[in-house]
Structure 1
Amino acid sequence: MDMRLTGRVAVVTGASKGIGLAVTRALLAEGAKVVAASRTAGPELTALTGPDLVHEAVDLMDPEAPARTVARAVREFGGLDILVNNAGGPPPGVDLPRDSFFDASDEDWRAMFEFNLFSAVRTVRAAIPHMLSGGGGSIVNVSSANARQPSQINVDYGAAKAAMNNLTKALSEEFGPQGIRVNTVSPGPVLTPWWTDPGGVADRLAGRVGTDRTGVLDKLVPETMRLTTGRLADPEEIADVVVLLASPRSASTTGAEFTVDSGFVKAV
């Protein structure tokens, strides 16, 4: 299926690995031009560098970074059609999961909201004027199944992502009539480096329960999270939904949440 993205200009935040890398790769494959924003590029993103991809080295905890990233897209490619707010998860220096609500201080909460919500707010604020001047666009906010399935071990993260879902709805109502669609993709557990890297969540959980990384990923997590599919999702499965929502083929889809969570969320 042709996604009709050839020549369209996209910004993807958190693009160096995991879901962001998969989204960047998928957009390039569809002919889009991409500004990939992350603190560092990493070897996999660097391997994609070419005339249709530039890396913007930014720390999105910096309030000025979102505007610089959008400006880079306009400067390099002449405009902006697509924004994928993917940057999120634990802020630098923070480890998840926690053991309790009481493990997160005020500063931890501020950092979590800064990274997972305010960075997206600022990027949207910078992006929308360019989208309006170009006749419209698509914003896809990557949230989390924890926005609707609360967890005491990730309480500050889930609260920030719930706010992201609310933001998506509000933006879609205000700017939909002006040609800007805004949607949310909410992943469940995904085989990203946050889980799979040495010392990552899988290793930390393995140390707590007396198993190994493979046992955590293949058995413990699917069983304890009651994943209907019996496995964590691949980043490419999230990217496919993001690209479809970015595409003009989703022209009548706005203000929607697409959950790609292996059946984690059970509520209607």
Structure 2
Amino acid sequence: MDLQLTGRVAVVTGASKGIGLAVTRTLLDEGARVAAVSRKSGADLDALAGPDLLHVAADLMDPAAPAHAVARAVEAFGRLDVLVNNAGGPPPGTALPRFGFLTPTDDDWRAMYEFNLFAVVRAVRAALPHLLDSDAAAIVNVSSGNARRPGPMNVDYNSAKAALNNLTKGLSEEFAPRGVRVNTVSPGPVRTPWWTEEGGAADILAGATGSDRVAVLERVAPEMMGLTTGRLAEPQEVADVVALLASPRSANTTGAEFAVDSGYLKEL
């Protein structure tokens, strides 16, 4: 299926690995031009180098970074049609999961909201003047199934993602009538570096459950989280949905949330 993204310009945050890398690769494959935003590049992102890819080195914990990234994209490609707010999860220097409400401090809460909510607010604010000039504009916010399954693990992260879901709906109500569709993709656990890197979620859960990294990824986490498919999702499976929502083929889809979560969410 032609997603009609040829020549479109997208900004993708958190683009150097995991879901963001898969989104960047997919949009490029569909003919889009992509400004890939991350603190630093990496071998996998470098492998995509070409005239349709711009890497923007930016730390989204810096309040000026989202506007800088948008400006660089417009400077390089002359327009903006798609904003994918993918960066999120543990702020730089933070490891998740964290257990219990009393564990995160005020500083932890501030950092979590800075990375998972305020950076999105700033990116949308910077992008909207350009998106409003597009004939097929789209914003896709990458949230989490935990936004709708609150609990005592990662309570600050879950709360920030719930706020992001609310923001998405509000943005859609205001700007979809003006031609900017806004949707959410909510992954469950995805086999990304957040899980697989040394000291990441798999290692933390292994320590908490008396297991090991491989067992956590293959069995313990899917069982603990009640994953209907029995496995963590792959980044490409999330990226495919993001690309469809970014596409003009989804011209009448807005204010919606799409779960790519291995059956994690059970609620109607």
Q: Same fold, TM exceeding 0.5?
A: yes
- Counterparts of 1:189-268 in structure 2, within 5 Å, are 189-268=189-268
SS in 1 for 2:154: helix
Find out whether 1:138 has 2:150 as its counterpart.
Answer: no
Cross-structure match for 1:75: 75
Specify the code of the residue in structure 1 equivalent to 2:156: D
SS in 2 for 1:54: strand
Distance in structure 2 (CA, Å) of the matches to 1:250 and 1:190: 24
* Distance in 2 between residues matched to 1:181 and 1:66, nearest whole Å: 19
Q: Which residue in 2 is equivalent to 1:161?
A: 161
Letter in 1 for 2:232: L
Query: Partner letter of residue 31 of structure 1?
Result: G
Shift in Å at residue 134 of structure 1?
2.8
Query: Where does structure 1 lack aligned partners over 5 or more consecutive residues?
Result: none
Using the alignment, how far apart are the partners of 1:198 and 1:122 within structure 2? 31
Give the superposition deviation at 1:199. Answer: 2.1
Cα distance, 1:136 vs. partner?
4.5
Equivalent residue for 2:2? Answer: 2
Is the 1:136–1:178 Cα contact (8 Å) retained in structure 2?
no
CA positional deviation for 1:197: 1.3
Offset of residue 214 of structure 1: 1.2
SS of equivalent to 2:153: helix
CA contact (8 A) 1:33 1:77 kept: yes
Q: Cα distance, 1:32 vs. partner?
A: 0.3
Question: What is the SS of the residue equivalent to 2:12?
Answer: strand
Q: Which residue of 1 aligns with 2:118?
A: 118
Match of 1:27 in 2: 27
Where structure 2 has 5 or more consecutive residues not aligned to the other structure, the ranges are none
Amino acid at match of 1:243: A
Equivalents in 1 of 2:249, 2:194: separation in Å?
32
Task: Return the alpha-carbon distance in structure 2 between the equivalents of residues 154 and 133 of structure 1.
Answer: 39
**Count of aligned residue pairs for this structure pair:** 268
Secondary structure in structure 2 of the residue aligned to 1:102: coil
* CA RMSD across the alignment: 0.8
TM-score of the two chains, using structure 1 as the length reference: 0.98
Equivalence map 1:83-122=2 (5 Å): 83-122=83-122
2: CA distance, partners of 1:192 / 1:22: 10
- State the secondary structure of the residue aligned to 1:56: strand
The alignment's TM-score, normalised by the length of structure 2, stands at 0.98
Q: Could you tell me how far apart the structure 1 residues matched to 2:217 and 2:136 are?
A: 41
* Structure-1 separation of matches of 2:204 and 2:228: 24
Q: Map Cα deviations across residues 230-263 of structure 1 (whole Å, 9 max, x no partner).
A: 0000000000000000000000000000011101
AA aligned to 1:228 is T
What is the alpha-carbon distance in structure 2 between the residues aligned to residue 136 and residue 233 of structure 1?
Answer: 29
> Is the contact between residue 217 and residue 232 of structure 1 (CA under 8 Å) also seen in structure 2?
yes
> What CA distance in whole angstroms lies between the structure 2 residues aligned with 1:31 and 1:191?
26
Report the 3-state secondary structure (helix = DSSP H, G, I; strand = E; otherwise coil) of the residue aligned with 1:198: coil
Deviations 1:89-125 (A, max 9, x none): 0101111111211001111101000000000000000
C-alpha separation in 2, matches of 1:6 and 1:135: 14
Describe the SS at the equivalent of 1:103. coil
